[in-house]
Structure 1
Amino acid sequence: MQRSWLAHYPAGVPAEVDIGQYPSVVALIEESFQKYRNDKAYILMDKALTYGEIDRLSRDLAAYLQGLGLKKGDRVAIMMPNVLQYPVAVAAVMRPGFIVVNVNPLYTPRELEHQLKDSGAQAIIILENFATTLEQVIRQTPLKHVVVASIGDLLGFPKGAMVNLVLRRVRKAVPAWSLPGAVKFNAAVAAGRHKPLDRPEIGPDDVAVLQYTGGTTGVSKGATLLHRTIISNLLASEAWMRPGMTRKPTEGQLTFICALPLYHVFAFITCGLLAMRTGGVNVLIPNPRDIPGTVKEIAKYKFHIMPGVNTLFNALANNAEFAKLDFSQLRIANGGGTAVQEAVARKWLAVTGCPIVEGYGLSETSSGIACNPTDNDAYTGTIGLPLPNVDIRLLDDDGNDVPLGQPGEIAIKGPQVMSGYWQRPDETEKVMTPDGYFKSGDVGIMDARGFVKIVDRKKDMILVSGFNVYPTEIEDVAMNHPGVAECAVVGVPDKNSGEAVMMFVVKKDPTLTKEALADFCLKNLTGYKKPKYIEFRTDLPRTNVGKVLRRELRDEVLKTMDKPAA
């Protein structure tokens, strides 16, 4: 395939971007610290941190961490939602050459223990709201150092103190915790203020981030993202957004609405780092599920860029107060994580006047590797064209290229692709072709222009509101319940989350109820992984060698959903 898509690139977008202009992510963000020193970088609850303040705070926190004895290449976990400490922590971990391990703060103790052990993280920076989770597993992990943040830490006095008081005493949002030896975030920053910071040489092939993603075996794996991997994605994304930003004049500082979680690779690149690269400001939304609160917050700003997932766009587009906002500066609404539904795209366009530009990426590709042109005026139903530096092939089951217009597994090559799964060469080998293409597991069709439409999923992964959910992990948890003889998990369509988790169960204990099993799963799985539907069966369909036929179960459900109402 001769990269037919290049002929259909928007004017001014290059086929390749020069990833050699920065040796590391550190070099890129430090350039922004100086270039935009007095400009706002992140805003939370009306409190802004400037680029200069993030520079100073991260330098001091980095010096503190280095003073603990951490060396270049050591892993430091960050377990926080969208709060001001998050960008400070990322810069603080990267600047001495440590490796960021992004952790979902909603993880259960079981999930957190696995990730900390697998990554070998020696330190963690965690929001106090989730410290009780860490308390339950810390003795089973290699952690030596804990820094605990409170939401009010960087909000200033008296606001910060009031916010902490309300969260702890009124809303009871901070469960009691005990982590002997833990240091408060502000104390760590203060302790590093007068310490020197040794600056090791950080090169393009050094590891920057471990971005964990589910596995078909139920084991979460760390996608190893090098500094050049992230630089490549970042610069390609910047080049791709330019046509959308320049088709109409814009006013004021480039403003991003960051409602997606920064620990997720989509927001990490598209909000966190892209805004810093372009001198933009991120308006942080810690809890986007609170739609009225989210609308109230973003109503304060004339915003230019808003990445989101289908569920968020849908909820906002159907909110009467959101429809009253000023969208005169909105230039790009970037959809990803899961398919954007046409009805949602139409409603969003009618409300905002700005089309949703759908893209596609994975943790293994450091976020987006395909996107619709940002100067599009309408919904296309595709994931767009491959981005600069990206090569895409569609392969059959034997690894051969399929003709244009025929379905094949999307395989991706380019500097945006991970170097492999962290310390799992066997798992890496399963997803890489001999000539270096990453096999996504998604089945797509490419047209003559190079636009790709996803039509199926080769693997059994379920996409719930943009988050990967793997059936085997849920099945493994459910099988630990004494009342379960066997089970199978599939994804089924859901109008709110794109897909939802459905579990089919053969009982061992006839008294087992759906409610009891759902509660058991919730104690061991993050909320979005919990089965939304549970159905009891006397047996499960199998192949002649005994393998449960998940797809047959899913097809049964789809047939019943397609039947007209009686």
Structure 2
Amino acid sequence: MNTDQRPWLTHYPAGIPANVDVDAYPTLKDLLEATMKKFGKKPAFSSMGRDISYQELDELGTAFGAYLHYRGLQPGDKVAVMMPNLLQYPIALHGILKAGLIIVNTNPLYTPPEMKHQFVDSGAKAIVIAENFAANLEQIIKDTQINTVITTSIGELLGWVKGGLTNFVVRKVKKMVPSYNLPGAVTFQTALDEGKKHRLPTFTGQPDDTIALQYTGGTTGVSKGAMLTNANLVANALQMYAWLTQTLTEGGDGRMLCPLPLYHIFAFTVNAVAGFNIGMCNVLITNPRDLSTIVKAFKDNKIEAMTGVNTLFNALLNDKDFQKLDFRHLKLTGGGGMAVQRVVAERWHKLTGSPLTEGYGLTETSPVATMNPFNDKLRVGTIGVPLPNTSVRIWNDEAQRVATTEERGEIQVKGPQVMKGYYNRPEATAEVMVDGWLKTGDIGMMSEDGFFRIVDRKKDMILVSGFNVYPNEVEDVVAAHPKVLECAAVGIPHERSGEVVKLFVVKKDPSLTETELVTFCRESLTGYKIPKAVEFREELPKSNVGKILRRELREA
């Protein structure tokens, strides 16, 4: 691509190249192993006061990979990982990569039907799951190919005293672990101990090998596995390395706060891969809804960087204990997953002295495609400029051409971080990939000097605290209620979560109530997908071919 086609390059902070060598490492395993050798005994991850070093992570990851290999898993097999932010997560990730396997990140809040879909669709043969959610797995495991189950507890790697106390509180006091029966399951520690007895062969991967199946919704409501390859994730890690090291010192003693879940693509790449790659110790927050744990992390660690979503930043700004913290070390705050509101960004900068920098990406782009500069060129209200090696264009679909400056159109992305495609869904892949360009479905504009901003979200997608909710998925559940004739789900603005789901329903049975309907939804939908408002109507607006017009409902 010619430089004159990338006007945004003039806004790159000094030292960031137009292109980085994305072929420097053939696999993500190679990049991560080089990183672990480079930083050795330096802490890599921290959770609830327990640190593990890069060297220790390398050794534990090898042991875990050896266990998976010993259990008969072969390169290319899929392993589901379903847990909140715990030290077990990076160990499992590194073990999976070392054994040549594919990680299937799974939201721990998924209901049994949602779990079943993802495990059956991916063909997962093993799972690492926090015991808190094992009862859900018990309900559906017989319908999957999973034959290796590794359970773990919140306190398992925290040491005998602290771990024992933590597990007592979680299990006995808070009663957060429903009873379950999974014959043959072993604990995470047992897997590590057993793995140390076995040798893990060296598996040589290829750049185009899929190493992560990251599930995302679709306008049809069917959750699809984005195939992220070695090349995709190495590229995004090195693109972010170039961006982050303009502000953060590689191998320094500062730490990176990770309150977002590692199973989400944002934290997976930015924290567990990119932040890790520059030698920053990631401080893992297990439950970010408990703001006191974030406050404590700031007090106990030299936090130089953190990632988050608008709802979290807003909650922290309104927390009295957070307002009293010393932010002198904080250099970088990255927001993503959902739009960062201007007022939140301005308040954050005023309180912390650190600019709240917004970027943009999708699961399909590994995820980062654009980022605001971390200097005085930052432009609040925009999603910044494309990363090195990345092209972004605004496409005028009606005229079938690239849009002119300040003209609205679909945001399309091309770059080495763009996924290989959707797993086992060539038609869905063809719908979004055209000549190497990923059609995001988001409507945006580019300024004359190359900054991008989003002016409308995907046509029907609802964004709740950074998580995609697709109307069809909600509607499919609601439509199964015997008292429902017709229904439509849309997103409505919400002060804390950006948007929430609102349901419009035409009754088949007049006795149907809002409470009855919401209770019904709880049986099949994760919490953030459950409608927060229900409006009953005599009829729903439709097009001339009978399609329900969600836009009219949103506007109403």
Counterpart for residue 433 of structure 2: 432
What is the alpha-carbon distance in structure 2 between the residues aligned to residue 279 and residue 358 of structure 1? 23
**Corresponding residue for 1:237?**
240
Instruction: Give the aligned partner of residue 339 of structure 1.
Output: 339
One of 19, 29, 34 as aligned partner of 2:37? 34
The aligned residue for residue 281 of structure 1 is 281
Give 1:175 shift.
Answer: 0.9
* Residues 91-490 of structure 1 aligned to structure 2 (within 5 Å): 91-245=94-248, 253-376=253-376, 380-398=380-398, 399-433=400-434, 435-490=435-490
Deviations 1:447-468 (A, max 9, x none): 0111001001242111111111
Deviations 1:205-247 (A, max 9, x none): 111100100011111000100001000011101111223337x
Give the SS at the match of 1:164: helix
Q: Distance in 1 between matches of 2:397 and 2:379?
A: 31
Compare 256-265 and 289-298 and name the one that shifted more: 289-298
Query: Is the partner of 1:524 in helix, strand or coil?
Result: coil
User: Counterpart amino acid of 1:231?
Assistant: V
Query: How far is 1:152 from its partner?
Result: 1.4
Alpha-carbon shift at residue 375 of structure 1 (Å):
1.6
- Aligned pairs for 1:459-538 within 5 A: 459-538=459-538
One-letter amino acid matched to 1:431: V
Please tell me whether the aligned partners of residues 302 and 327 of structure 1 are also in contact (alpha carbons under 8 angstroms): no
Q: Tell me how far 1:510 sits from its aligned partner.
A: 1.1
Q: Are 1:490 and 1:553, in contact at CA under 8 Å, matched by a contact in 2?
A: yes
Residue pair 2:372, 2:378 contacting (<8 A) in 1 also: no
Identity in percent:
51
State the distance in 2 between where 1:458 and 1:353 align. 33
In 2, distance between residues paired with 1:519 and 1:264? Answer: 27
Partner of 2:79: 76
- Map of 1:559 onto structure 2: none
- TM superposition shift of 1:378: 5.9
> C-alpha distance in 2, partners of 1:6/1:136?
53
Q: What do the CA deviations read for 1:338-376 (whole angstroms, capped 9, x no partner)?
A: 111111111111110111000001000001110110124
Deviation at 1:397, TM superposition (A): 1.9
Q: Which runs of 4+ in 1 moved over 4 A?
A: none
Letter in 2 for 1:66: H
Report how far residue 499 of structure 1 moved: 1.1
- What SS does the corresponding residue of 1:304 show, helix, strand or coil? strand
Matched residue type, 1:22: Y
The structural deviation recorded for 1:33 is 1.7
CA contact (8 A) 2:378 2:384 kept: no
Does structure 2 retain, via aligned residues, the 8 Å contact 1:332–1:354?
yes
- The number of equivalent residue pairs is 552
Contact 2:252 2:280 in 1 (8 A): no
Deviations along 1:2-38, one digit per CA (max 9) or x if unpaired, are 1111122111111111011111110111112211121
Deviation at 1:379, TM superposition (A): 5.2
Structure 1 CA distance for aligned equivalents of residues 428 and 384 of structure 2: 29
Equivalent residues of 1:254, 1:280 under 8 A apart? yes
Pairwise CA distance, 1:57: 1.1
Q: Which residue identity does 1:70 align to in structure 2?
A: L
* Counterpart code for 1:131: A
Cα displacement string for residues 434-478 of structure 1 (whole angstroms, at most 9, x for unaligned residues):
x11000010000001110010012421111111111000000011
| Letter of the structure 1 residue corresponding to residue 499 of structure 2 | E
Q: Distance in 1 between matches of 2:483 and 2:295?
A: 44
For residues 8 and 166 of structure 1, what CA distance do their matches in structure 2 show? 51
Summarize the Cα distance change of 1:372–1:340 in structure 2 as closer, same or farther, 3 Å threshold.
same
Q: Contact 1:287–1:294 (CA<8 Å) still a contact in 2?
A: no
1:250-306 per-position Cα deviation (integer Å, ceiling 9, x unaligned)? 995131100000000000011111122011101110111112232223321121111
TM-score normalised by L of structure 1: 0.96
CA deviation vs aligned residue, 1:149-183 (integer Å, no higher than 9, x gap): 11111111121112111111111011111111111
Q: How does 1:42-57 map to 2 (within 5 A)?
A: 42-57=45-60
| Residue 58 (structure 1) aligned to one of 36, 56, 61 | 61
SS of the residue corresponding to residue 13 of structure 2 reads coil
> One-letter code of the match for 1:404?
T
Task: Check 1:79–1:251 CA distance in 2 against 1; reply closer, same or farther (3 A cut).
Answer: closer
Find out whether 1:67 has 2:70 as its counterpart: yes
Is the CA contact (8 Å cut-off) linking 1:302 and 1:326 kept in structure 2?
Answer: no
Cα deviation code 1:279-334 (max 9, x no counterpart): 11011101111122322233211211111100000011111111111211111100
Note if contact 2:396-2:402 (Cα within 8 Å) is conserved in structure 1.
yes
Q: Note the residue ranges of structure 2 that are not aligned, 5 or more in a row.
A: none
Unaligned runs of 5+ in 1: 557-566
Whether 2:54 is the aligned partner of 1:89: answer no
Q: What secondary structure sits across from 1:20 in the alignment?
A: coil
Contact 1:243 / 1:375 at 8 angstroms: preserved in 2?
no
- Measured in 1, the distance between the counterparts of 2:464 and 2:306 equals 20
Q: How big is each residue's C-alpha offset from its partner over 1:63-93, in whole Å with a ceiling of 9 and x where there is no partner?
A: 0100111111000000011001000000011
The alignment partner of 2:536 has SS state of strand
Q: What secondary structure is seen at the aligned counterpart in 2 of 1:76?
A: strand
Tell me the distance in 2 between the aligned counterparts of 1:180 and 1:396: 56
Q: Secondary structure at the match of 1:90?
A: helix
Aligned residue for 1:359, secondary structure, equals strand
**Residue aligned with 2:493, SS:** strand
What is the DSSP-based 3-state SS (H/G/I as helix, E as strand, rest coil) of the residue aligned with 1:393? strand
> How far apart, CA to CA, are the structure 1 residues paired with 2:282 and 2:11?
31
Contact 1:366–1:418 (8 Å) recurs in 2: yes
Q: Per the alignment, in what secondary structure is the counterpart of residue 321 of structure 1?
A: helix
SS across alignment from 2:194: helix
Are 1:254 and 1:279, in contact at CA under 8 Å, matched by a contact in 2?
A: no
CA distance in 2, matches of 1:458, 1:99: 29
The 1-side partners of 2:486 and 2:294 are apart by 42
